[in-house]
Amino acid sequence: MKITDLNRNGGIDANSLLLEWGPFRIVFDAGLSPRTAGKAGVPRYDLIGPEPVDLIILSHCHLDHLGSLPVLMREQPEPFVVMSAASMVIARRMLKNSYNVMVRQREEAGVTEYPLFSRREIDQIGRRVLPLLFDQPRVFTGRTGESLVVTLHPAGHIPGAASVTLQYRKEKLFLSGDILFAPQNILEGARLPRDPVETLVLETTRGLTARPVGQSRATEVERLLQQLDEVLAAGGSFIMPTFALGRMQEVLAILHEARRNNRLPKVPVFASGLGLDLVDYFDEIARKTGACRFRRRIVEDLGVVRLPDTLLRGRLPAGPAIYVLSSGMMVEQTPAYVMMPRILRDPKNFVAFIGYCDHATPGGRLLAADPGSLFRFDAIEKEARVEARVERFDLSSHAERDELLEFALSLRPRNVVLTHGEPEARAWFAAELAHRLPQARVIDPVPLRTHEL
């Protein structure tokens, strides 16, 4: 088997792997970089070469896995795209939002290569998508008449997220995608097979993040709710930058539960557009596939208000409020970014980051900023002194590193390929696997280089 990481920037960026296995050529994921603008943020699909791809497989709908799918489909006009039935409900909505953001960035930041694809191309995706239910194997016959069996497994993480088993002849390859084993309010944890595999492709997001002893997701939720209560009681506002897909609905479900248990004061809750639109899609997924348990009434019961444009640009309302705004890493021009200068200036306010935050993004920089220092928002030409408290709560939607390690050991793989992690995070897995699984070969693929397994 040959494996080529098409993500030119390494780390967690525009995820995409080319797998060449027997007569099959498969592309796993088609991401878009969250930090590199223009065509440079697209995986190097030109390295696929002139021979066509047999199958495209998508793990889930976060843009670092989905964002360049229309580009790949344009360059590869033949192959089917396999994704979970739940992902199919969300994929076009996510791409349309990405399209709108690109159009705006073309106007505001002069990125002339944007948009990278057309609305028409998004609309046409459905024709080539093969939605699969979890745990139901599907046989594909290649051009040479040989078969490949594809099985999707529920990976936790976000609704629709899948891990994938590929079987060719007697050998198995397991692709983790993004995994969360712990259950969330809106979703069960991952349910994955433990059969031995030849090759495991493993996400490594949390390789550098060990949970402190005594801390769990539940204790972090508790700490968040206590902090929320204190801040609101003292008349401050509480802002949570969150990813629109998955995190935002999870946070709203946590707030809903707290409100039902009389633990959340009745203050206005504002949320930004895409995350609120996705509520309807999640409701559909819950009704049609059972792949999540988020229902629309959570938003109705909480009385969530769509963040109005006047608020995004104008004065904040008097009195305490809760803001659940994208994006999770406070990327430039997102609602969280645009609101933040006004939130930061008031020492009564509180900023809670709750998920993964790349250190190079504005969110990562704000988390590292000294209290009282001046923080610049270059993209909107503003600055603010960090008077509000800024803290991180660990409600990550990625599995603990020890859980992933145990999982890797249970599959007894001959090869482990590390993906979706910063270099230091991959290094932790490489060292642990060398120690705990000495007979396995561990590969941290060099971007754009073909590795023979």
Q: By C-beta, is 27 or 311 nearer to Zn ion?
A: 27
Which of 62/401 has CB closer to Zn ion? 62
CA atoms of 177 and 257, how far apart (whole Å): 29
Contact between 64 and Zn ion by CB under 5 A: the answer reads yes
Dihedral, CA atoms, 326, 327, 330, 331, nearest 10 degrees? -130
Stretch that binds Zn ion, among 170-178, 337-345, 364-372, 430-438 (CB under 5 A): 170-178
Nearest residue relative to Zn ion (C-beta): 62
Q: How far is the CB of 190 from Zn ion (least distance, A)?
A: 13
Question: Whole-angstrom Cα distance, residue 425 to residue 402?
Answer: 12
Of residues 167 and 361, the one with the C-beta less far from Zn ion: 361
Binders of Zn ion in range 278-307 (CB under 5 A): none
The answer to the question of residue 206 lying near Zn ion (CB under 5 A) is no
Least distance (Å) between residue 160 CB and Zn ion: 10
CB of 185 to Zn ion, least distance (A): 18
- CB-based contact 350:388 (threshold 8 Å): yes
Measured over the CA atoms of residue 95, residue 97, residue 101 and residue 106, the dihedral's sign is positive
Judged by beta carbon, residue 62 or residue 172, the one nearer Zn ion is 62
- Minimum CB–partner distance for residue 220 and Zn ion (Å): 19
CB nearer Zn ion, residue 244 or residue 339:
244
CB of residue 16 to Zn ion, shortest distance in Å: 12
Pick the closer one to Zn ion by CB: 31 or 236.
31
- The nearer residue to Zn ion, 57 or 343, going by C-beta atoms, is 57
270's tokens: 């504002």
In this chain, which stretch among 42-50, 56-64, 277-285, 328-336 interacts with Zn ion, using CB under 5 A?
A: 56-64
Q: What is the C-alpha to C-alpha distance for residues 431 and 428, in angstroms, rounded to an integer?
A: 5
Q: Is 29 in the site for Zn ion (CB under 5 A)?
A: no
The interface with Zn ion within residues 122-161 (CB under 5 A) comprises none
Least distance to Zn ion from the beta carbon of 284, Å? 20
Closest to Zn ion by CB, 157 or 342? 157
Q: What is the DSSP string of 350-405?
A: EEEE-S---TTSHHHHHHHSPTT-EEEEGGGTEEEE--SEEEE----SS--HHHHH
Instruction: For Zn ion, give the closer residue by CB, 45 or 243.
Output: 243
| Least gap, CB of 88 to Zn ion (angstroms) | 16
Tell me the window of 162-170, 176-184, 218-226, 348-356 that interacts with Zn ion (CB under 5 A).
Answer: 176-184
Candidate residues 8, 32, 33, 62; the one interacting with Zn ion per rule CB under 5 A: 62
> How far is Cα of residue 271 from the mean position of the Cα atoms in its chain?
19
Q: Which CA distances in Å does 305 have to 173, 272, 290, 295, 302?
A: 45, 9, 27, 16, 9
Measure CA of the first residue to CA of the last residue in the chain; give whole Å.
5
The least CB distance from residue 368 to Zn ion, in Å, is 22
Q: Which two tokens stand for residue 228?
A: 């929320």
CA 398 from chain centre, in angstroms, equals 9
- String of contacts with Zn ion for each residue 316-335, x by CB under 5 A: --------------------
Question: Are 402 and 411 a contacting pair, CB within 8 Å?
Answer: no
CB of 380 to Zn ion, least distance (A): 27
Separation CA 179–CA 158 (nearest Å): 9
Per CB under 5 A, the segment of 59-67, 114-122, 306-314, 402-410 that binds Zn ion is: 59-67
Q: Give the range of 64-72, 73-81, 132-140, 369-377 binding Zn ion by CB under 5 A.
A: 64-72
Listing DSSP states for 57-95 in one string gives E----SHHHHTTHHHHHHHS-S-EEEEEHHHHHHHHHHH
Specify the residue, 178 or 400, whose C-beta has the smaller distance to Zn ion. 178
Q: How far is the CB of 178 from Zn ion (least distance, A)?
A: 4
Exactly one of 5, 13, 54, 178 binds Zn ion (CB under 5 A); that residue is 178
**19, amino acid identity:** L
Q: How many residues lie near Zn ion (CB under 5 A)?
A: 3
Q: Pick between residue 5 and residue 178 the one whose CB is nearest to Zn ion.
A: 178
By CB neighbour count within 10 A (0-12 exposed, 13-18 middle, 19+ buried), where does 253 fall? Answer: buried
Rounded least distance, CB 4 to Zn ion, Å: 19
Which residue, 62 or 217, has its beta carbon nearer to Zn ion? 62
Query: Taking Cα atoms as reference points, which of 65, 14, 3, 76 lies closest to residue 39?
Result: 14
Q: Which residues pair with 21 in a beta bridge?
A: 24
Strand order in the sheet with 350-353: 305-306, 269-271, 322-325, 238-241, 350-353, 389-392
**Residues at the interface with Zn ion (CB under 5 A):** 62, 64, 178
